[in-house]
Amino acid sequence: MTKPLLSAQGITKRFGDRVACRGVSFDLWPGEVLGIVGESGSGKTTLLNCLAGRLVPDEGAVLYETASAGTVDVHRLSEARRRLLARTEWGFVNQDAREGLRMGVSAGANIGERLMAIGARHYGDIRRTASDWMQRVELGLDRIDDRPTAYSGGMRQRLQIARNLVSNPRLVFMDEPTGGLDVSVQARLLDLLRGLVDRFHLSAVLVTHDLGVARLLTHRLMVMQGGEVIEAGLTDQVLDDPQHAYTQMLVASILPV
Amino acid sequence: MSPVLRVSGLAKSFVMHAQGGLELPVLQDVALDVAPGECLALVGPSGAGKSTLLRSLYGNYRPQAGSIRVRHKDEWVELVDAEPRLTLEVRRQTIGFVSQFLRVIPRVATVDVVAEPMLRRGASPEEARRHAEFLLGVLGIPERLWSLPPATFSGGEQQRVNIARSLISDYPILLLDEPTASLDVANRDGVIDLIRDRRESGAAIVGIFHDVAVRDALATRLHTVALPGVRA
C-alpha cells in the first residue's frame, strides 16, 4: 500500500474565539491504530469529530482513500456520500453507547440495521450474521431479542461495537470506548477490541485519556494539549521516553498498581 | 560475517522537565557492530546506561544523535528518527526484544500470548500454536497452565512465558535484557540452551546479563558501557 488510508492536513477548528484544535496533521496507514491522548478539553474529541466528518474544520482537509473510488476530501463530499461512507467503510464507537445504538429496538435489530443499510435483504442471512456478531462480542444469544435498555453498560458497549463492525468497516473511530465502565468490564472490552482489530486488520483512531488503554490498543500516539499536538511517536516511545514536559507529567501521573 | 547491526555516534540524554529541565546525559558517541553468530554482552556498573542503549537499539528510546542501522530484508534501514511504521515493521520481522517483565494482556491464554508474534508474521494458527506449546514445554511451564492467562503466574513463570513469546520467531537480531533474572538454576540452564541455539544458528545478539555464569555461557564479546565523562 503506497497511500495512507486517512490523511489529516492542517486541521483547525474554532468555537467562537476559542481554538479547539490547531494545525493538526498526520497520516494513518492501513492496519494502524492511532491513539489521541490528552486531558479533558485538550481538543481530542473535536479533532476526532472533524476527522469523521461530523464537524467541519475551519481550516485544513481530511483525505480518505476509499476502497474503490480513489481519494476523497471528506468535507467536500455531499451529505449523502458522506453518510454512505460512514455506514459502509467506517465505524464510530461513541463513549455513551446510547448515542450509537437505537435503544427502542432489539439487539439483533441494532446489528441487522447496519447490514440492511448496505443492502442486505434476506432475513435469515441477517439474523445469522447478527447471531455471529453477538457471539463474537460475547453476548449471549438468549439476549438477541432484548432491547439495549435491558443491557448493562458493558454489554451495551459490546453491542455498539458489533453494530459498527458487522459491515466490515476499514476504519473505525472510537471516542473513549471504555470510559465510564467498571475496571473489570474495561479489561474484557479492551481484550475484545484488541482481538477484533488484529483479526480484521482494522485501522482505527482512538481517543482516550487513559494511557493504559492507549498502551494496550494503539501502535502510535499523538499527545494533545490546548488544541495542539505536542508530541507524537510509537506508543511505547511516547510512554517510556516522553520528551515534552506535559507528556512527562501525564506519564508520571499514572498511579502504580 | 559482516555485521547486521551497526551503531555509530549514538547519543542519548534525558531531560527531566519536572526537575527544571535537568539534563542527564547517558549515552555519548556509542559505536558497535554485531555480526550473525555473535553475542555482545553489555557490561558496566548499574546506572551506566546499558538498558538505555538496549532500548535505543529497539527504537523504544529516542536518541538525539547518531545512527542505528539494521539489516532488514536485505537492506540497511536507519532506526534513529525512523517513521513509526518502519520501526514496527523492523520489530515484526527483524529485531526481537526479551525484557525482564511480561506486559500482561488481560484474559489472553498463555499459549496465545506466546503464539501471537508468530501469527503476526503470517504463520498459520496451528503452526504458531504447535510452536508455542513446544517452547512452553522446553521452558518447563506445566501444561495445565497453558490455557490460563499468565497474570497470576509466579515471577519466574511469567519471565519464561515472556522468553517463549520473544523467541518464537526466528529474529535475525535479538536484544536481551536480563533474560534469566528471576529464574532458578534448572530453568536458567534451559533458557541458556535456547539462546545459545539461536546464536549458533546465526542470530546476532546483544544482551545484558548480570549473572556471570550466563554471560560466560553466551557472550562471544564484551562491550563496556560507561556514563559520559566516566572512565570505562
3-state SS, residue A246:
helix
Quick check: A29 and A52 in contact, CB under 8 A?
A: no
- How high is the pLDDT of residue A1? 54
A244 CB neighbours in chain B (<8 A) are: 17
Residue B185 Cα to chain centre, angstroms: 21
Residues of A within an 8 Å Cβ radius of B: 29, 32, 187-188, 190-191, 194, 198, 215-216, 219-220, 233-234, 236-237, 240-241, 243-245, 248-249, 252
- The span from the CA of A196 to the CA of A165, in Å, is 9
Confidence category of residue B115, pLDDT binned at 50, 70, 90? very high
Fold category of A1-89+171-257 in CATH = Rossmann fold (3.40.50)
Quick check: B87 contacting A, CB < 8 Å? yes
A219-237 per-position pLDDT tens digit: 999 999 999 999 999 999 9
Q: Distance, in angstroms, between A102 CA and closest chain B CA?
A: 30
Write the CB contacts of A109 (distance below 8 Å, at least 6 apart in sequence): A102
Confidence category of residue B232, pLDDT binned at 50, 70, 90? low
Write the CB contacts of A181 (distance below 8 Å, at least 6 apart in sequence): A153, A154, A157, A189
The chain-wide mean pLDDT, for chain A, equals 92
Angle at which helix B185-200 crosses helix B155-167, to 10 degrees, equals 10
Q: Distance, in angstroms, between A199 CA and closest chain B CA?
A: 10
Q: Distance, in angstroms, between A5 CA and closest chain B CA?
A: 13
Mean pLDDT of A34-49: 93
A89-106 per-position pLDDT tens digit: 999 999 999 999 999 999
A2 CB neighbours in chain B (<8 A) are: none
3-state SS, residue A254:
coil
Confidence category of residue B37, pLDDT binned at 50, 70, 90? very high
Cα distance between the two ends of chain B: 28
Rounded alpha-carbon distances, angstroms, from residue A31 to A68, A188, A199, B77, B130? 18, 22, 10, 21, 26
B87 CB neighbours in chain A (<8 A) are: 234
What's the half-sphere exposure (Cβ side, CA atoms, 13 Å) at A160?
A: 29
How many Cβ pairs within 8 Å bridge chains A and B? 50
CA dihedral (A108, A114, A120, A122) in degrees, to 10, reads 10
- What is the model's pTM? 0.91
Q: Are B18 and A241 a contacting pair at CB < 8 A?
A: no
Copy the grid coordinates of residue B3.
Answer: 555485521
Quick check: A180 and A209 in contact, CB under 8 A?
A: no
β-sheet bridge partners, residue A231:
A223
B84 CB neighbours in chain A (<8 A) are: 219-220, 233-234
Quick check: B20 contacting A, CB < 8 Å? no
Residue A58 Cα to chain centre, angstroms: 22
Q: Which of B88, B106, B108 sits opposite A219 (nearest CB)?
A: B88
Which helix (H) or strand (E) segment holds residue B188: the answer is helix B185-200
CB atoms within 10 A of CB A12: 17
Quick check: B62 contacting A, CB < 8 Å? yes
Phi and psi at residue B225, in whole multiples of 5°?
Answer: -110, 130
Copy the grid coordinates of residue A72.
Answer: 476523497
A243-255 per-position pLDDT tens digit: 999 999 999 887 6
Strands across the sheet containing A33-37: A90-93, A171-175, A203-208, A33-37, A220-225, A228-234
B52 CB neighbours in chain A (<8 A) are: none
Q: Which of A194, A234, A245 sits opposite B84 (nearest CB)?
A: A234
Looking at the predicted structure, is the pLDDT value of residue B105 above 90? no
Looking at the predicted structure, is the pLDDT value of residue B100 above 80? no
- The span from the CA of A229 to the CA of A181, in Å, is 27
Phi and psi at residue B142, in whole multiples of 5°?
Answer: -60, 140
A32 CB neighbours in chain B (<8 A) are: 85
A198 CB neighbours in chain B (<8 A) are: 120
- How high is the pLDDT of residue A191? 80
Burial B75-98 (b: 16+ CB within 10 A, else e): eebebbebebbebbebbebbbbbb
Looking at the predicted structure, is the pLDDT value of residue B206 above 90? yes
Higher-confidence position of A121 and B105? A121
Q: Distance, in angstroms, between B39 CA and closest chain A CA?
A: 26
Lowest-confidence region among A66-70, A188-192, B42-46, B187-191: A188-192
Q: In chain A, whose CA is at the least distance from the CA of B86?
A: A234
- Intervals of CATH 3.40.50.300 along chain A: 1-89+171-257
- The span from the CA of A63 to the CA of A51, in Å, is 9
- How high is the pLDDT of residue B184? 87
The cell 520489530 sits on which residue? B91
Q: Which of B59, B103, B120 sits opposite A234 (nearest CB)?
A: B59
Q: Are A243 and B62 a contacting pair at CB < 8 A?
A: yes
Lowest-confidence region among A112-126, B82-96, B208-222: A112-126
Concatenating the DSSP letter of every residue in A95-108 gives SSHHHHS-TTS-HH
Burial A179-201 (b: 16+ CB within 10 A, else e): bebeeebbbbbbbbbbebbeeee
Q: Are A187 and B107 a contacting pair at CB < 8 A?
A: yes
- The span from the CA of A78 to the CA of B227, in Å, is 60
Confidence category of residue A75, pLDDT binned at 50, 70, 90? very high
CA dihedral (B145, B146, B147, B150) in degrees, to 10, reads 70
Looking at the predicted structure, is the pLDDT value of residue A78 above 80? yes
A243 CB neighbours in chain B (<8 A) are: 15, 62
Looking at the predicted structure, is the pLDDT value of residue A157 above 90? yes
Mean pLDDT of B133-145: 93
**Which runs of consecutive H residues, i.e. helices, occur in chain A?**
44-51, 79-88, 97-100, 107-117, 123-136, 153-165, 183-199, 211-217, 235-240, 245-252
Single out the residue of A154, A153, A155, A115 nearest to residue A144, CA to CA.
A155
A233 CB neighbours in chain B (<8 A) are: 62, 84
- The span from the CA of A236 to the CA of A238, in Å, is 6
Confidence category of residue A257, pLDDT binned at 50, 70, 90? low
Q: Are B61 and A241 a contacting pair at CB < 8 A?
A: yes
Phi and psi at residue A33, in whole multiples of 5°?
Answer: -115, 115
What's the half-sphere exposure (Cβ side, CA atoms, 13 Å) at A152?
A: 9
- How high is the pLDDT of residue B91? 95
Q: Are B60 and A32 a contacting pair at CB < 8 A?
A: no
Strands across the sheet containing B22-34: B22-34, B5-16, B65-72, B75-78
